[in-house]
């Protein structure tokens, strides 16, 4: 399982409607190929009308025992569905410290 954390920005329509300026997107992709995981994560982000900006972190998990508290739900969803995207947004007027 590959977990990528990607900084992303919403389309203007999404930003206005939901009053969000951006997000850290945790992209759980059920693969061991990091290159495939990145392409799939970017595709899924774009499909959701967001724009991937940069990758903050890449982790590989071989077993659920390696997960931090609270991550098992997302890991299991990705096992079942192939991916799980979790958006941690910040408000439109705020700026992310890493942008």
- Report pTM: 0.89
Q: What is the rounded distance in angstroms from the CA atom of residue 83 to the CA atom of residue 30?
A: 6
Q: What is the rounded distance in angstroms from the CA atom of residue 85 to the CA atom of residue 29?
A: 9
In eight-state DSSP terms, residue 29 is: E
CB 32 within 8 A of CB 2: yes
Q: What is the rounded distance in angstroms from the CA atom of residue 30 to the CA atom of residue 33?
A: 9
Short-list 75, 63, 4, CA closest to 36: 4
**pLDDT number for residue 81:** 98
Q: How many residues does the chain have?
A: 99
Q: How would you write the pLDDT of the chain (99 residues) with one tens digit per residue?
A: 999 999 999 998 888 888 999 999 999 999 999 999 999 999 999 999 999 999 999 999 999 998 989 999 999 999 999 999 999 999 987 555 454
**pLDDT number for residue 14:** 84
């Amino acid at each position: 399982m590959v977990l990528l954390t990607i900084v992303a920005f919403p389309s203007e329509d999404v930003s206005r409607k939901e009053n969000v300026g951006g997000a850290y997107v945790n992209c759980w992709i059920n693969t061991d190929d990091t290159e495939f995981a990145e392409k799939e994560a970017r595709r899924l982000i774009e499909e959701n009308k967001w724009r991937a900006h940069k990758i903050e972190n890449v982790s590989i998990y071989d077993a659920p025992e390696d997960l931090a508290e609270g991550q098992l739900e997302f890991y299991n969803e990705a096992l079942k569905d192939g991916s799980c995207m979790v958006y941690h947004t910040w408000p439109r007027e705020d700026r992310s410290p890493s942008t």
